[in-house]
Chains A and B, each alone.
Chain A
Amino acid sequence: MTTIAPDERVLHAARIASGNASAEESVRTTLARIADRNPKLNAYRETFDAHALAVAAALDRAPASAKAKPLAGLTIAVKDNIATTEGKTTCSSKILANYQSPYDATVVRRLRDAGAIMVGKTNLDEFAMGSSSENCAFGPVRNPHDTTRVPGGSSGGSAAAIADSLCDIALGSDTGGSIRQPAALCGAVGLKPTYGRVSRYGLVAFGSSLDQIGPLTRSVRDAAAVLQVIAGHDPLDSTSADTPVDDYLATLDQPIKGLRVGVPKEYVSEANDASVNAAVERAIDTYRSLGATIVDVDLPLTDLGISTYYVIAPAEASSNLARFDGIRYGYRAPLSRDEDLFDLYAKSRAEGFGAEVKRRIMIGTYVLSSGYYDAYYKRALQVRRLIKNEFDTAFQACDVLLGPTSPTPAFEIGKKSDPLSMYLCDVYTVNTNIAGICGISIPGGFATVGGSKLPVGLQLQAAAFAESTLLRAARMLERAYAGG
């Protein structure tokens, strides 16, 4: 089995901060690689070459302490549903094709303050709705391991960019797996923090009780370093948690003695690709060899996650996306003489939104409509509590849960044209968001499919605000796989 040494970019940041490496040189290398590779991958919608070079040159002229700028000179790609004053913030949607944010998202501000240099915005499934990055107004994103295949979604642009070394670190958002699943399909690390751990201010809202921003990186250390910078309460997001932020990097390399790894039997399904189950088995053996205890865990509601998610997420989306009405910002459809305000709303939205977004708005509106609210929405919220209770019970018996991130490696572009078959890609990731706990996808090996070597991801989940445990457990496996 192939081993890959993790690429720890945060070590390069320390060299830049101390003046021993050039940020400008690093930015130039990244921009040149983007110019060469992006026409094939469509990972970036837009790059900020002049801005990035200017920020890098300023950093090189005035080196800071690594403590003040822990991400000094690292190039960062930002998913295009996160607001930036540079360039546009389009959500890969026609309705926001010309939208320029008047402010930075809190995560972007914090990363800039930490010395990171934004090089561009990455494509996504429109409004983060999808698992393949095909639902994109600006064309599909392609997987760098095989450009006939999808990179996963919805943070597919960020995942392709990080996997192909088109940036040092990337930001994604995860409502039901949108960081972890593309990380798995592209061979990257993808972290979904606990709900409320990271400010959502400046993230265009999809499912407000599910959304979290998180990093996609090429090592667990980089994920920890980015989380260290972006975690914590933000007065601009009243749902961000007051819970103190741990020092993730201080403990990262300490293996957890007596780690209890829970393996739910529901996660090792016959419906998974054989390569995926093999990767889970190998991880179980590896953890055992590291002294961890493997615990059998039951999560019988796993299978109901998709049904629950496809009530709650579209319901919240239909409400959140009501703001796109053609009045204050975004696309406004031209009207004929006899058309009124209702027509302006209905035409602007019909012409501005793509098919998947309309589908989700329709599901959400249906389940919230008079006569169906109790049968669908209220019931889904009740099952949501049962799913959370099931995790609470599991985490009494184990520290982390291990399983696959995605049931299959990357599939071919155009393969899943039926919406329901696409939704089922997220069977192992949606429950993390439903319960509000944290999860990470890390590289777990490769599958050989039709002559291509495709990455397979492993998912670890931990209790709310247990990111330290999650990252340490992930690092143990990463180190073992790298032969260290």
Chain B
Amino acid sequence: MSGSALRDSEVRHVAKLARLRLSEEEVARLSDQLGAILGHISKLNAVDVADVEPMAHPLPITNRLADDVPTAPMPIEDLLRNAPAKEGRFLAVPKVLAEGGA
């Protein structure tokens, strides 16, 4: 089963949701490839799923509560070791709010 290509505008919209900056070549390639993959996935439409409870997880587990016992946190120096940019004990990031913004 071959699917029809996604529109470029759809690919760009999904890429924005996924926080991926794609080149024009990537958009063109993905519109074909995602179309073919979604076409294969559409085989699922032939299955009668009326009254079937969705199964998100293989194990019938519910929330598991840990004992309320404090444990030592991981040292902050260890956690900051992989930070791409830091200032003292903090992660450094670019400006989030515009000038005068709320």
Contacts and interface: CB of A to CB of B under 8 A. Distances in A.
B60 to A, nearest CB: 10
A100 B81 contact: yes
B84 A330 contact: yes
B43 A304 contact: yes
Chain B: number of interface residues, binned into ranges: 35 or more
Interface stretch (A20-28, A31-39, A270-278, A306-314): A306-314
A294 interface: no
A307 B45 CA distance: 10
Size class of the contact patch on chain A: 35 or more
A307 B49 CA distance: 15
Interface of A: 98-100, 102-103, 195-196, 209, 235, 238-239, 241, 301, 303-304, 306-308, 310-311, 318, 322, 325-332, 335, 339-347, 349-350, 353, 358-359, 361-363, 365-367, 369, 376, 378-386, 388, 419-420, 423, 435-436, 464
A386 B37 contact: no
Contact of A332 (B37, B52, B85): B85
Contacts of A350: 20-22
Contacts of B83: 328-329
B96 A304 contact: no
A363 B37 contact: yes
Contact of B54 (A196, A358, A367, A381): A381
B63 to A, nearest CB: 8
Contacts of B89: none
Could you tell me the dominant secondary structure of chain A's interface residues?
helix
Interface string B53-97: 111111101001010000000110011011111000001011110
A206 to B, nearest CB: 15
A365 B53 contact: no
Given A241-B59, A310-B40, 9 more contacts: A98-B82, A99-B82, A335-B94, A358-B26, A359-B33, A362-B15, A367-B41, A369-B17, A383-B47
A109 to B, nearest CB: 15
Nearest to B54: A381
A390 to B, nearest CB: 12
Contact of A327 (B42, B61, B93): B93
A209 B57 contact: yes
Contact of A307 (B26, B44, B56): B44
B28 interface: no
Contacts of B47: 301, 304, 379, 382-383, 386
A479 B56 CA distance: 39
A436 B84 CA distance: 37
Given A350-B20, A358-B20, A379-B44, A332 B38 contact: no
Closest 4 CB pairs of A and B: A436-B58, A381-B54, A332-B84, A329-B82
Contacts of B5: none
Nearest to A347: B21
Contact of A362 (B14, B21, B45): B14
Contacts of B26: 358
A233 B75 CA distance: 26
Given A358-B20, A419-B37, A383 B84 contact: no
A258 B82 CA distance: 55
B61 to A, nearest CB: 7
Contacts of A241: 59
B91 A328 contact: yes
19 contacts: A100-B81, A102-B74, A103-B74, A307-B42, A311-B41, A340-B96, A346-B16, A346-B19, A350-B21, A358-B26, A359-B30, A362-B15, A379-B47, A380-B41, A382-B47, A383-B49, A388-B58, A419-B36, A464-B58
